[in-house]
A = this chain, B = another copy of it.
Amino acid sequence: MSEFKGYKGKSLDFLQKNSIKVGDTVEIQDGVKYSGIIMPRYEHGDDKHIVLKLKSGYNVGLELEKIQSVQKIPSKESKAKNTEDIKKNPLLPKILLLSTGGTIASKVDYRTGAVTPVLTAEELNMSVPELAEIANIDTEVLFSEYSENIMPENWQKIAQRLAEFDKSDYAGIIIAHGTDTMHYTSAYLSFALAGYPIPVALVGSQRSSDRASSDAALNLIGAARFLVGCKTNGIFVVMHKDENDVDIACHFGTRVRKNHTSKRGAFQTVGDAPAFIVTGKEIRRNNSSEFFKEKKYQVKTNLKTNVALVKYYPGYDPDLLEKILELNCEAIIFEGTGLGHVGKVMYENIKKANEKGVFLGMTSQCIDGRISMTVYESGRDLLDLGIIPLEDMIPEVALVKVMWALGNTSDKEEVKRIMLENIASEITN
């Protein structure tokens, strides 16, 4: 957060002159004496006020012109934690905890109410003492980003680091990750590290780890229990199954979506039960098939991002397809309607895209269910225009997969073959 977040003009001058920044505790006199914390300003407000959070929890706006005096109150430094407190038990299996940021590695700043990413992987580990009874946990910070800022380059960084541990004696690897785009990352890892021998669990939380209501601890404990007990490999997303703090769901990393903005049980396997459920110490398997369809392990981290996801809707401007092509797009994944349709208005520009050699794949904005383009005339027209029906692949997963496919071949027929090959359970039978 900027030190003067939201302040401008006179109010910014005032803060700077008095060496005060957002988050500082101050005492202000304007006839009445106020003590509280300088709050950031989010609204498009004026530059004549500063906002103070009082001890009562209420915010007040104070008019600059009326302020008679202001004094900064020094804050108490927080005690540095001893990170060497956890004893290793040589009888337990080993887990690696890689942190990439996100709410799970964050703290609420109780001064401003903001959530900031500050926990190291080691702090995260220490904040959940139960982990030490399940495994010896090594920790490492890869980077610290909220997941809306995680880019395909970050995916590659994670994959490359994981590849360095492929022959290690870790029973499993936990990746602490923001929840917003966790399912995009899990899909990428599923393709880039197809056949990876060690089970991997992406774990996030919907409430930061230092809050009483946090889901972080139970998700981490569930993930650790799953990794040491699952007897399989694969890329999984491990989160609360629902709002009860009881069941932890382990989803196939290519069949999962964040389906709620805030609930703990936000992640769901599309159209099926999660592959595994962890309840206390028990692991229940719901899906008898293996995650990776081939045993062979291959690292292929290349990708290309000049692709587009096009969600069709009534009124979609077909010229927008032309604009997408102007950006040298090599693949378009359509989120069509129903069984895989778009309006006739799109046909002409789809034809142009096909003639340019752009890969055209069809998924459905219904999200659940299979594409079927031979039932209706619209579907058959689109097949004729060169669109490839992508079975029941989730649109987001199809998008990530085509980025990865283009990174690994420039042969259009090979891209098509890869897209229709079931590599990591992205297609169900």
Query: Can you report 14 A-B residue pairs in the complex whose CB atoms are below 8 A from each other?
Result: A115-B376, A146-B376, A148-B341, A148-B378, A258-B338, A259-B367, A261-B368, A261-B369, A262-B369, A266-B369, A305-B317, A307-B315, A308-B320, A323-B327
**B315-A180 in contact (CB<8A):** no
How many copies, total?
A: 2
List CB contacts (< 8 Å) of A116-166 with chain B: 116, 146-152, 154-155
For residue A23, CB closer than 8 A to chain B, the reply is: no
Q: Which residues of B contact A309 (CB under 8 A)?
A: 311, 313
| Residues of chain B contacted by A79 (CB below 8 angstroms) | none
A324 CB–B CB distance under 8 Å: yes
Taking A147-B337, A343-B149 as contacts, is the C-beta distance between A313 and B184 under 8 angstroms? yes
Known A-B contacts A324-B320, A378-B146, A396-B313; the reply to A345 vs B261 at CB < 8 A is no
In the complex, whether A40 has a CB less than 8 A from a CB of chain B is yes
Find the B residue at minimum CB distance from A380. Answer: B42
A235-277 vs B, Cβ < 8 Å mask (1 yes, 0 no): 0000000000000000000000111111100100001000000
Cβ of A6 within 8 Å of any chain B Cβ, yes or no, is: yes
How many angstroms between the C-alpha atoms of A392 and B263 in the bound complex?
Answer: 13
Rounded to whole Å, the gap between the CB of A265 and the closest CB of chain B is 11
Top 7 nearest A-B pairs by Cβ distance?
A261-B369, A180-B337, A148-B341, A323-B323, A180-B338, A305-B315, A260-B369
- A179 near B314 with CB under 8 A, answer no
Cβ of A171 < 8 Å from any Cβ of B? no
A366 on interface, CB distance cutoff 8 Å: yes
Assembly CA distance A333 to B307 (angstroms): 20
What is the bound-complex CA distance between A203 and B412, given in angstroms?
42
Interface mask (A323-345 → B, CB under 8 Å = 1, otherwise 0): 11011000000011111111111
Q: How far is the CA of A370 from the CA of B261 in the complex (A)?
A: 6
Query: Within the assembled complex, what's the spacing in Å between the Cα atoms of A393 and B361?
Result: 28
Query: Would A308 and B317 be within 8 Å (CB), given that A146-B377, A338-B261 are in contact?
Result: yes
By a CB distance below 8 angstroms, the chain B residues around A311 are: 309, 311, 335
- How many angstroms between the C-alpha atoms of A152 and B314 in the bound complex? 6
- Among A350-386, those with CB < 8 Å from B are 364-372, 374-378, 380, 383-384, 386
Q: Which of A381-424 contact B (CB under 8 A)?
A: 383-384, 386, 392, 396, 399, 403
Chain B residue numbers with a CB within 8 Å of A314 are: 150-152, 154-155, 181, 184-185
Q: How far apart are A240's CB and chain B's nearest CB, in angstroms?
A: 14
In the bound complex, how far is the Cα of B378 from the Cα of A149, in angstroms?
9
